[in-house]
Amino acid sequence: MVVRGVDRVQDYVTFRTAHGREPSAARTVPGAERTLALWIGAARRGQVSRDALALLDRTVPGWRDAGVLGLNPAFRDLVRRAATALDTGVRDIEAERWLANQRRQARAGVLGAARAAELDKALSPAWRADRDPNQPVRAWAVRVAAFREQHGLLPRRRTPKPLAPDEHRLGHWLANTALAARQGTLLAERRAIIDTVLGPGWDTARRGRRG
């Protein structure tokens, strides 16, 4: 669907000049601001008229990347959430759908350069390609298993004397993933992978005492 409205371009310019930021789509902001934010979002997806896109390019250089350049904290928050979902395997449906949309825009050649660079920096260029979404979980579980084999216990996220440089990070992942498992938010296939690598009971096992 193409959203028309060349007149919105002037509204967008006026808003940025007056407020020094991008309009927000939060439900708590005035309706006019939210409508404008949704419109500019549609423009960045190529869903407005060609006339409007051409006018935006002429009057607001870099508007396609404005969400990255310090004007849209929601973008950075979604990048952070997408990275967390990839690292931990804990599902974040909104972030996953958002990242899939960024991937589609990149393939179509309509993703802004600064936005793509920010994603490359935060997630590595591998985010552009479809990949096994469970691979990060498998990699984390293997690292935890290697720690347990070497030290005889599971890693802890808080200990004054870590047994390895990455123990706190491994322990943090394990604790968060175990919590997600107990709360029922860990995907079944990811639970099965961790069960295979670490064995049943990893989400309830005590981390062991330290001397």
Query: Phi/psi of residue 48, each to 5°?
Result: -120, 175
Residues 153 and 180 in one domain: yes
Residues 104 and 155 in one domain: no
Residues 141 and 172 in one domain: yes
In terms of pTM, does the model score above 0.85? no
Residues 1 and 57 in one domain: yes
Express each pLDDT in 12-62 by its tens digit.
989 888 877 788 877 788 889 989 989 988 888 888 888 888 899 888 877
- Which SS3 state, helix, strand or coil, does residue 127 take? helix
Q: Which domain holds residue 114?
A: 67-131
Q: Is residue 48 part of a domain?
A: yes
pLDDT at 150 exceeding the cut of 70 = yes
Last residue of a domain, one of 111, 131, 151: 131
Say how many domains are in the chain.
3
Q: Is residue 94 part of a domain?
A: yes
Q: Is 22 exposed, middle or buried (0-12, 13-18, 19+ CB in 10 A)?
A: buried
